[in-house]
Amino acid sequence: MRMFVRRAVVLAGCFWIPAAYAQPLLVSHAENADYHSVQQAIDALPAEGGNVLITPGIYREKVIIPKSGVHLSGTGSNPEDTVIVYGDGAINVGGTARSATLSATGDDFRLDNLSIQNDYALNPANPRSQAVALSVTGDKDVVTRVRLLGAQDTLFAGKGPNGRMSRQYFSNCYIEGHVDFVFGNAKAWFRQCELHGIANQAVVFTAQSKAAPDEDSGFVFDHCLLSADAAARDIALGRPWRPYATVIFLSTKIDARVVAEGWREWDPGKTSSLSTSYYAEYRSVGAGANPSGREPHSYQLTDSQASRWSLKAFFGGATDWITTDRHRENTKQQ
């Protein structure tokens, strides 16, 4: 045990780790490793959480993290080096949230430099189903340099227990999928992330689910990239899962061939949520940018209006919990 703890401390020098958690646990496929699975290490952490470092490799397992203060980091050179993958679909596990490869419900969750995948859709024998890669419902969660791979419903960014709002920050991430693949009702900010639509007859980047006008939730995408496979069809920026869905794209490069109106109704002919949702863009560029052709109920923001969605404004000035070096570099001009 001591040998691996010491080694983990050396490796940890490359990552942001609070002084309170000075001895991270190490997960490795090495024969003499103390922890061969991520879940084993999570279970071994104390109630107040701690740090887990994961060496390069593919870890086929389902990971559930109920504790707060849990910080996971891959030790490879790139996020592609360390992959946690599983293949549950909502259709066979009794619900969308239960299908997640990694589910984190505790507060102060950190995820850095690895990939989370749900490969359910890669099996042609499986019927169509929601299949979540990452589900995060804690408050003050930070996800950096992470690849999230799936198809329908890849990332669930949701509220916590009893409807408590969750603040979440994603930076320099790659998220791929097709239908509603970034969804939920958290208060989530995405900085310099790529959202990639994979080949499918329909691609919808977001399905935010703000249900009431007084809920303090929404998705903001700042300086992000929207891309898509050549075979991706009928690409939309989002559709309202609930009547007051709130999604804002700031200075986004839209390389994907998004439909002219940009936004879709949840169930055309049966729902009418576009009129109550808040869908907005500010200075979109690229092949899919089309301000004059957008859905009439959506907004093209002025400089003044866009400033209300800056990082500090969005989180009410309380951003001390976003404490990575990369965040400080990204927000110097916010």
Q: How far is CA 266 from CA 23, 90, 207, 270, in A?
A: 47, 20, 9, 8
> How far, in Å, CA of 327 to CA of 320, rounded?
10
DSSP bridge pairs for 142: 110, 169
325 is catalytic: no
Q: Are 173 and 190 in contact (CB under 8 A)?
A: yes
Distance CA 331, CA 312 (A): 9
Is 43 one of the annotated active-site residues of the chain?
Answer: no
Tokens for 89?
Answer: 């679909």
Q: Which of 180, 222, 255, 320 is catalytic?
A: 180
Q: Which residues does residue 194 pair with via DSSP β-bridges, in sequence order?
A: 174, 225
Q: Which of 81, 153, 255, 320 is catalytic?
A: 153
Q: What CA–CA distance (Å, rounded) separates 8 from 25?
A: 7
Q: Which residues are catalytic?
A: 153, 180
